[in-house]
Structure 1
């Protein structure tokens, strides 16, 4: 899509400019055949088509993008390892005395599983099949139950290892390692805000989340609970921490760590006796399909940005924005509002690869760090999955929900989480050390 927009932009402006020159030359008495030949030659003999080739080649050569198929494969193979049902059941038993225990277990499971996969549709769909029926059976409020699944399922695009962060880093020229370090604490902070909301609302309105009975959870000794945690929570948590630790502590590049994660996902599936030829084939197919979509979008983004800048579009926007005499805070708010509105009809891929390259060159003028800007964008894009009318999380969940669960109920259940996302962005802006703490601690630098 971005490639088509870039070519259309060129065809409209540059070809139109040559056509107007051709008209003026005819009026001054030039030979029509010679001028037409010159015009056609000028159309094809220009740097635009060179940019198409060069940008495609340079993007495909980018080693950072190698991590995308490997992380995707890790996510898809873990999704098919049948450990999420054990994980949810274990966390429910461990948190059974906490208000809204089933919602808490669903949120923690969503966070962990979303971190391992980074695929919003897979997390929301699987948790909709697993956790939603259990919560509805326990007489949980429909809006309360659906909202927590939709919100928790989107955290994978913010918490590392995230495909969104890789694409943003490649687009903006930032180190993926620093991007991961900067995103970790804000991602956990947002998950913490969600968790606080779930528990506090269950305390204030206990009818939304009735406490489980002994028949619902059964009796488990501390030793049994410890064994359940060891066999369900620990393996997936260890895999995620191993991948992130290898990246953050410089033991491996993101691509090498992704390869470790893919191998670990295979080992985890084998350990749970879920590694079959059919599941492996499905995982490879889905990985290839999703990788092709993301990487070709990135090719289109690079081409569009190059054509846009070559024909003066970037300079025009830069002159227009700088002429408004905005403060850095005003520009930051305006940019985030635009991204928030774009999240209604578009998904994060289109926003990152088409619109972010327009904002990036403007950041130095306002003294805004691209790293900090990227974290705010990643938090803001949570709303792309939670804001009607194109809230994809709601449609994913509706597709696997019982018939009596209405789409309007899911939308209403997601609304509080959109407000929490906005509050989290304000919190990060007021306390930017949350973003810079880990990168400065691990890699140096002052901010």
Structure 2
């Protein structure tokens, strides 16, 4: 076999990432690409004796106890997808929107925040809002782009609002307290949601045709109380999950189990529980978590081999040497993450870049928890960014046929700008995270 180590680390790094890109262009899944490249370079650089090193690194990734919380939160989202909880929650939020101009869009953002705080999953939330909120906004005569942007950007808040799966994966990869990450991301998540609300209000009052006020629909006290029932169960689940974490009563893993129990009990109380519902939710969970695990295995193997090659030190020195100003280095890392986010899944980005970036961040004297919030805000942008922003594809799957993918991406540009503004605010004012 050709001795790849003869290339040297500089050309070896170029060859590795060139091969990665070439295989990704063929359409091969990221998990298999990273595993294949890791195997090629392990054998070509070190010989067969390096293979056990790959397996030991993979085992350390999948054996983490905190990782158990990921399938739990995914299961919560899967059950929510199949119950009427989200629809009733949306109806209950009419009490907040009322006769406010842009009220339905604001109502959608509030629902998105509560759903994000229940499960921390993004895809299902966008689909739910696309089925419930988008048709209502279009029927009322809302500007199409405003309605589309609110659904996608609101649905992607699960990246930032605890208990975010992105924060959990960051904590596992960077070896940082997940509880500390949840605490630090709490205010930034709500800050971003408030930016969306402010944007909707500004657009609505500058041009009233963008968000017409709905026809008056007077409700009796009995009807209002009936609507409020829809918000009680979701709020209780959020309080039990986040309250147990912040109160120090339960770990993230234990709180995720409490959340699953809470959602199952909610479906029982509502008379929606069935074995078919649980079976379908379990199958969806297996599919989603299987993808995360396989990407994690591939990325862990690749980074392990790259580290043995001396690649992480090489890239770290190259990035650190860009400027003596540590903020210039930080912004350069943010740009790299944003560009990668346009093409790769966030799980792959986290597992491929964080083993390189986090040591640099700590060497520069930055707080890794604060950087974790920056990372999640950046991944928030990746969910919306063309050409492969997942949010657009999730919405396209349930949107009316006359809404094209191009129109969805154009609708998202102002919201990407708001996310960039929030990221800049976190860099300029790190105290927002409490760090």
What is the aligned counterpart of 2:422 among 418, 421, 424? 424
1:150-170 CA deviation, whole Å, 9 max, x = no partner? 000000111111111111100
Unaligned segments of structure 1, at least 5 residues: 17-41, 437-446
C-alpha displacement at 1:196, in angstroms?
A: 1.0
Q: Which deviates the most, 425-434 or 254-263?
A: 425-434
Distance 1:328 1:233 in 2: 46
CA contact (8 A) 2:316 2:357 kept: no
**1:219 aligned to 2:218?**
yes
1:411-440 CA deviation, whole Å, 9 max, x = no partner? 22211110100110111122212212xxxx
Unaligned segments of structure 2, at least 5 residues: 1-29
What is the aligned counterpart of 1:368 among 361, 366, 369? 366
C-alpha displacement at 1:224, in angstroms?
A: 3.4
CA contact (8 A) 1:115 1:155 kept: no
What residue in structure 2 maps to residue 240 of structure 1?
A: 238
C-alpha displacement at 1:3, in angstroms?
A: 6.8
What residue in structure 2 maps to residue 270 of structure 1?
A: 268
What residue in structure 2 maps to residue 20 of structure 1?
A: none
What is the aligned counterpart of 1:378 among 368, 376, 379? 376
Which aligned segments of 4 or more residues in structure 1 are displaced greater than 4 angstroms?
none
What is the aligned counterpart of 2:294 among 289, 293, 296? 296
Number of equivalenced pairs: 406
Specify the SS of the correspondent of 1:400: coil
Q: Structure 1's 303 and 146: CA in aligned 2 closer, same or farther, altered over 3 A?
A: same
Q: How much is the aligned-residue C-alpha RMSD, in angstroms?
A: 1.8
What is the aligned counterpart of 1:80 among 55, 79, 82? 82
C-alpha displacement at 1:6, in angstroms?
A: 5.9
Matches within 5 A, 1:5-154: 5=34, 8=37, 11-12=40-41, 15=44, 43-44=47-48, 46=49, 48-154=50-156
1:363-407 CA deviation, whole Å, 9 max, x = no partner? 222112111111001011111121111122112212211222232
C-alpha displacement at 1:197, in angstroms?
A: 0.8
Q: Which deviates the most, 243-252 or 391-400?
A: 391-400
Distance 1:61 1:318 in 2: 27
Distance 2:245 2:37 in 1: 40
Task: Give the alignment's TM-score, normalised by structure 2.
Answer: 0.89
Which of these two proteins has the greater Rg computed from alpha carbons? 1
C-alpha displacement at 1:226, in angstroms?
A: 4.0
